[in-house]
Amino acid sequence: MLSLHDLLHRQVPRVPVTKLLVATNLLIFVAMLASGAGLWHSSNSVQLAWGANFGPATQDGEWWRLGTAMFLHFGLVHLTLNLWALWDAGQLVERMYGHARFTALYFASGLAGNLLSLVAHKGLAISGGASGAIFGLYGALLVFLWRERGRLHPHEFRWFFWGATAFAIVSLGLGLAITGIDNAAHIGGFVTGLLGGIIFADPARMSGKSSHVFSSRLSAISILALTVFTLIVRIPPPAYKWSEEVLARKEIGNFLRDDRAITQAWQHILDEARRGGISFDELAGQIDTAVGNPYEESFEQLSELPPDPALPSAATVEMLRDYAERRRDASRALAEGLRTHNPAQIRHALEMARQPLQLPKLSPPTPSTLPR
C-alpha cells in the first residue's frame, strides 16, 4: 500500500504554485531589505510603504492592502517560520486539491484573515504576514484527511491528522498567550480553510469518488458568505484618513526644509546689515521678501491642511503653524522697526525671532505592529 505522500505525488507530481508563493515571499523580503527594512525587524514606515494592513490606510480606498499584506514579513525569523510552514503544508494541499483550488484556498484564507484582523483590532494595528493563508491550508488539509480517513492506513491518518491538529491548536494557543501576534488573522484563515475544504468537493483524489454531497457544499458556501458579509458590516470607522496624514507629513517635511532655507537667508541679511552699506529701507524690503512673505505662505499652506485632531501629526502641524506665524510677525515687526528707526521695536523683533523651533519626534501612526 502506497503512502499518502506517494499517492498524492503520483497524481500531482509538481507543486508550481507552492514554489511560486515561497519564491515571491522571499523576493519581496529581499526587496524590502534593499529599501531600508531591518533584517530582524522593520519599521512601521517601511511596512506601510510596502502595503501592510492598517485601518486608516486600508479603509481610505487602499483595500488592496488586504492582499499585499499577505506577502510582507517583518524580520528573518518571521519569514523563516512562515516559509517553512508554507512549504511543509503547501506541497500536500496543492496535490490534494489541485493547482487552481489550492490557489483559491490560499488567497481566500489570507484575505478573510486580514479582514477579521481589521475588525478585531479596530484598524489600529499594522499587520502583515503569510500565516493567515497558511492556517487556511492547514484547515483544508484537515478536511481532506478526515474525508479520506477510510482510505488511509490508520497509523498514517493519525500521524497526519493529529499532527496538523496539534500544530493548529498550539499555534493558536501561542497567539492568545503572546502579545504582538495577529491571532485574528490566524483564526480567520483557519476557519476559511476548513470551509474551503468542504466547498471544493472535487479535489485531486487518491482513489474513488468524492464523499462530499451538494448539501454540505452549499452549507459551507452559505456560512462563508454570511461570515464575510458580517465582517464587512462590522468594519469599524477608521480613526482617521491615511491620505490626510500622508499629506500632513509631506507638508511638515516641506516646511522644515523651507524653514532652514529662510533661516539662512535671514542670517545672511543680518550679516549684510552689520557690514553696512545698505539702507534701513532696503534692509526692510529684503526681510519682507526673503523672510516675511515665505513664512506667510507657509502659514497659509499649513492652515489649509485637514483640521482633524485625530491625525498623529495634528499637534506637530499646529505647532508649526504657530511657529510660522510667530516668525512672520517677527520679520514684519523688524522691517517696520527698521523703516521707522525704532530701536525698541527692532530689539523686540529680534528677540521673537530667536525663539527656537522645538518639535516632538513624529511617532509611528499606530500603537502596535502585529506579525503573523
Determine the Cα–Cα distance for residues 279 and 72; give it in Å rounded to an integer.
62
Ordered alpha helix ranges (H), the chain: 4-11, 16-34, 44-49, 55-58, 65-68, 76-97, 99-120, 131-147, 154-177, 183-199, 214-233, 242-275, 280-287, 293-303, 314-340, 343-354
Q: CA-CA distance, 14 to 319, in Å (whole number)? A: 61
Q: Is the dihedral of CA 244, 249, 254, 258 positive or negative?
A: positive
Phi (first) and psi of residue 368, to 5 degrees: -155, 160
Question: Of these residues, 73, 78, 121, 186, which one is catalytic?
Answer: 186
Instruction: Indicate the domain borders of the chain.
Output: 4-234, 242-353
Question: So what's the pLDDT on residue 271?
Answer: 82
Q: How far is CA 189 from the centre of its chain?
A: 18
Q: What is the per-residue pLDDT across 327-346, written as a single tens digit (0 to 9) for each? A: 898 888 888 888 888 888 88
Q: How far apart, in whole angstroms, are the C-alpha atoms of residue 308 and residue 240? A: 8
Annotation marks residue 186 as catalytic: yes
pTM, full prediction: 0.83
pLDDT per residue as tens digits for the range 274-306: 777 788 888 889 889 998 999 999 999 999 998
Q: How many whole angstroms separate alpha carbon 237 and alpha carbon 307?
A: 18
Closest residue by Cα to residue 129 from 175, 56, 188, 70: 70
At residue 161, the 3 state secondary structure works out as helix
- Catalytic entry in 127, 131, 171, 331: 131
pLDDT tens, position by position, 242-257: 999 999 999 999 999 9
Residue in this structure with the C-alpha cell 484598524, named with its chain if needed: 123
pLDDT tens-digit map of 29-75: 999 999 888 888 888 888 999 999 999 999 999 999 999 999 999 88
Say which CATH architecture domain 4-234 belongs to. Answer: Up-down Bundle (1.20)
131 belongs to the catalytic site: yes
